[in-house]
Amino acid sequence: MIQLYFKEIYGMSIGEYISNRRLYRACGLLRLTELTVSEIALMLKYDNHHNFCRAFKKKLHCTPLTFRRLPQELLPAVRLPKTNHRDEFAHHLVTFTNKALYGVEFQYQDQFTKPGLLGGPIRLQRLRSWFTDSQAPFTIASDIVRKNMNLDARNELITVNAIAGLSVHVDSIFTPPKDSIFYPLDGLYLCCPFYGSLQDYAEHNKDIYRHLLPQFKYTRREARDVEIFHFTHHVFDASPRILCEHYIPIMREVGN
């Protein structure tokens, strides 16, 4: 009875859902770490290397190694049922031109299965430091660093490289801070505004990647995610709340 209900509501059996979740996790490990295929198969409780590769190729129509090497815009996707997520997202498309970020570079570790668990406090500290001195919007452009650190990868830890500072129009009169890094902001982005807790923000972003991008057939392109945080007194609360827009670099699929 439960099996039939699950399939009727979510469009796949419980067994298929569990299998897809494992493959979804495998996709993350392949792209975000340098773990060998055999190590990933072992982590995800497959009987052996061969069974993992066979299941992966059956679902994604390519081998794990091919998936790891593909350009981002050509990556196939594992379909997940829409469970426990919001159906409505405020979002719109934005094209950045003649805009740039001047900031400082920093790195932190986070868990890719629980984003924000480790990195959230580090980012919050930078937000509070910025808004203590200024009410200008605070911009963070971040990307994931693939590192050959197997111990971190086995614990599903990733390293995030970020540039944080002020975004401006490049043709404006602006003197960048000394030793600041220049990062151009250009191209098409999906903008998703948010107001709420850090925990809800992490879930909000996961739902965007898992459901919103596939729904509108947007593919993430090679560039940094950009977040623009706006001043709110609630960022200093004991249970802080943030106000921001998350810009995801995208490209439309051919025919859309």
Question: 170: number of CA atoms within 13 Å, CB side?
Answer: 11
pLDDT digits (tens, 9 = 90+) for 118-156: 888 999 999 999 999 999 999 999 998 876 566 676 777
pLDDT digits (tens, 9 = 90+) for 61-96: 999 999 999 887 788 777 666 655 555 678 999 999
Entry field: residues in the chain: 256
Name the residue among 256, 140, 250 with its Cα closest to residue 188.
250
Residues pairing with 160 in the sheet: 108, 144
pTM for the model: 0.83
pLDDT digits (tens, 9 = 90+) for 4-34: 877 777 778 888 888 888 998 899 889 888 8
The CA distance from 194 to 88, in Å, is: 12
CATH 3.20.80.10 fits 92-252, yes or no: yes
CATH annotation of 2-71? 1.10.10.60
Question: Domains of the chain: which residue ranges?
Answer: 2-71, 92-252
Helices (H) and strands (E) in the chain, counts: 9, 7
Give percent of the chain above pLDDT 90: 51
Model confidence at 164: pLDDT above 80: yes
DSSP string for 207-228: HIIIIIHHHTTEEE-SS-EEEE
